Amino acid sequence: MATAAAAHAASLAASKPKPATAASRKRKSTEAHASAANPYPYPYPYGNISLEEDINLNNVPMTENCDQIRRKINRFIDAGAATKTAFARNIGVSAKSLSGFLGEHGAYKGSNYAAYQAAWEYFKKREIVGLKMPTKKLKPNVPVAAAQAESAESTTAASTEAATTAATKKAAKTGAPAFNSAGVDISDIHLPGEETDRVPVYDSCDEVRRKINAHLKKPGVTQAQFCRDILAQLHAATKPKNIQSSQLARFRGMKGANSGATSSVYYGAYVFFEKVRVKEGKAKTKHRSDMEELWKGTGMDREHDGRTTGFWCMANERPVMDQYGKLSTVRI
């Protein structure tokens, strides 16, 4: 009897689960750890960081302003890491809050939106657990096993990028067809006034931003290449040495028919898209036709930026700008 009782007790002790250690209690991330072979952890792109509950940001100061966070969000979305709706869901805010925040411009504009702090926390926690910001477009829902194959192709992609850049430079010297992010040879397209950067612009700043955003969503299009495409449209002696991705991001973050009108990004992008349109034989949009009618001959005013230009009006009037950049006053 005693022997049977002892055996039963030993059996219970063996089947009793061991207390969790500190390591086993710690929740693991649902995203794979980054490595040289797998720089963009999977499952990707929408994997939430399950370590969030273990990361306390109460004593971490917010050192990034609204514009900086907006640039991170745009970079994250442009890389294909998430759609705007999915990103809003991941950070726990409504799509309306995120869209409102992204539509603002200014270091402190948009700080009242919940998306500002939520996005900052999301990126800070990714940084803490070692997840890097994506720098290239990724296919959604790529399985972990495919990560090795995709990362193995990165070397080839980098070589192709370098070859494209070299080919572009060579084309500029020899007159040969040049590569660009649209995949269309526009070297034979000439617009009146482009030698002095005086091509009349018949798209508002908001319309050019819409075209840029749509263009950057195309497979294989990178911001770096697009910045080079913009620079290639500038020929005047005052043209900048280069177009930085930060300049592109700054212009994309603005809002208003003539907000950013003095930017080289605005003019260069317009000329680029116009050459592509002519090359492909596409018809003008209604917006384009309306702009030609309203801004006959001169094109959009590129000397004044709506964000920094003041207007005189009567005390009982207010200046109003329409979608075409035309200013009028209304009585109040």
Q: How far apart are CA 39 and CA 42, in angstroms?
A: 9
Q: How far apart are CA 11 and CA 8, in angstroms?
A: 5
Give tens-digit pLDDT for 275-308. 999 999 999 999 999 999 999 888 999 988 866 6
Claim: this prediction has a pTM higher than 0.85: no
Give tens-digit pLDDT for 199-217. 999 999 999 999 999 999 9
Which range has highest mean pLDDT (111-120, 145-154, 265-274)?
A: 265-274
Give tens-digit pLDDT for 243-252. 998 899 999 9
Q: Are 77 and 155 in contact (CB under 8 A)?
A: no
pLDDT for 266 beyond 70: yes
Q: What DSSP state is assigned to residue 53?
A: G
Counting runs of H as helices and runs of E as strands, what totals does the chain give? 13, 2
Neighbours of 144 (CB within 10 A): 13
User: Is residue 269 very low, low, confident or very high in pLDDT (cuts 50, 70, 90)?
Assistant: very high
In this structure, what token pair is assigned to residue 206?
Answer: 């908001």
